[in-house]
Amino acid sequence: MNIIIYLYIFILGITFGSFFTLAVYRIPRGEDITHTRSYCPNCNHKLSFWDMIPLFSYIFLGGKCRYCKNKIRPRYFILELCSGIVFTIFAISIKLNINNINVSQITYFIFGLLYIAGLFIISGIDKEKIQIQNEIILYLLVIQFLYIIYLYIVEQANIYRYVIYLAILAILTTINTIYYKKKVNDNYTLNCFILLLLFVMFTYEYCTILTVILTLLSIEIKLLLDKIKEKRIKYVKKASRNAIPIGFYLGVTNIITLIATNFIIFYR
């Protein structure tokens, strides 16, 4: 019976993943993500139902648009697949079982998926554009605020730590929207700090510290591999230096550490 539930969660994950690909493409461009019908970014032809089946449409169409025959970037397939896998592993990590399920577990599962969804979109956009969208930060803040209300009213949990972090977050957000907007269009560093603060609120301090450590290690490994690659390329006068998508690494490693700590907590 649990296998069927995990299969449903996987299908839910790849369906969310299909939406993530749309959001990652449209949000930086200021396009609508809820009412405008999906279309091919190459020929702008509106897609039919059979063109938008997560994973399977990409496979059956051979990674090409049905209408203009241009190749579809594999990131769409990868994002959908990763979303399905992450959603399923997250359910397994909290020991989601039909035989002993409870309200607290279901609530954490729902808010956890909504939180992970925000990280997927942030990571996808940052990987492409080196931007952390304020809209998604606001979305994560709303999710966190609703979860705090639930913890206080239903679980009767101590929320003093959340109040402190919310106060700090309010100060940073105010600085970002009032002061820095006059200086620059987007303060990437400050947005990274705000993102870290959201990590602390939802995944707690130890998980956030581990996220930072893994992020630094990942970036160091990436830089090392790039340096090795550059040395193999001959006759290059000057290697190009691309900006590092810190938000991407933070989002991915936070998802990993969240799931890992869940396994430790729920299976000990």
DSSP secondary structure string for all residues of 83-94: HHHHHHHHHHHT
Taking a C-beta distance cutoff of 8 angstroms, is the pair 258, 207 a contact? yes
* Residue 181: predicted pLDDT: 59
Full DSSP string of 43-55:
T-PBP-GGG-STT
Tokens, residue 263: 């396994």
CB 215 within 8 A of CB 250: yes
Per-residue pLDDT tens digits for 155-196: 888 888 888 888 888 888 777 777 655 555 568 888 899 999
Instruction: For residues 18 and 53, give the distance between their C-alpha atoms in angstroms, rounded to a whole number.
Output: 8
Q: CA 253, CA 59: separation in Å to the nearest integer?
A: 28
Instruction: Evaluate whether 257 touches 85 at the Cβ level (below 8 Å).
Output: no
Tell me the sheet residues that pair with 64: 71
Rounded to whole angstroms, how far apart are CA atoms 175 and 112? 28
User: pTM value?
Assistant: 0.90
C-alpha distances out from residue 251 to 32, 117, 121, 152, Å = 23, 10, 9, 27
* 3-class DSSP assignment, residue 82: helix
Q: pLDDT tens string for the chain (268 positions)?
A: 688 999 999 999 999 999 999 899 888 888 888 777 788 778 888 888 777 888 988 888 888 888 888 888 888 899 999 999 999 999 999 999 888 788 899 999 999 999 999 999 999 999 988 999 888 998 999 999 999 999 989 888 888 888 888 888 888 877 777 765 555 556 888 889 999 999 999 999 999 999 999 999 999 999 998 888 777 665 444 444 568 899 999 999 999 999 999 999 998 8
Give yes or no for a contact between 201 and 144, defined as CB atoms under 8 angstroms apart.
yes
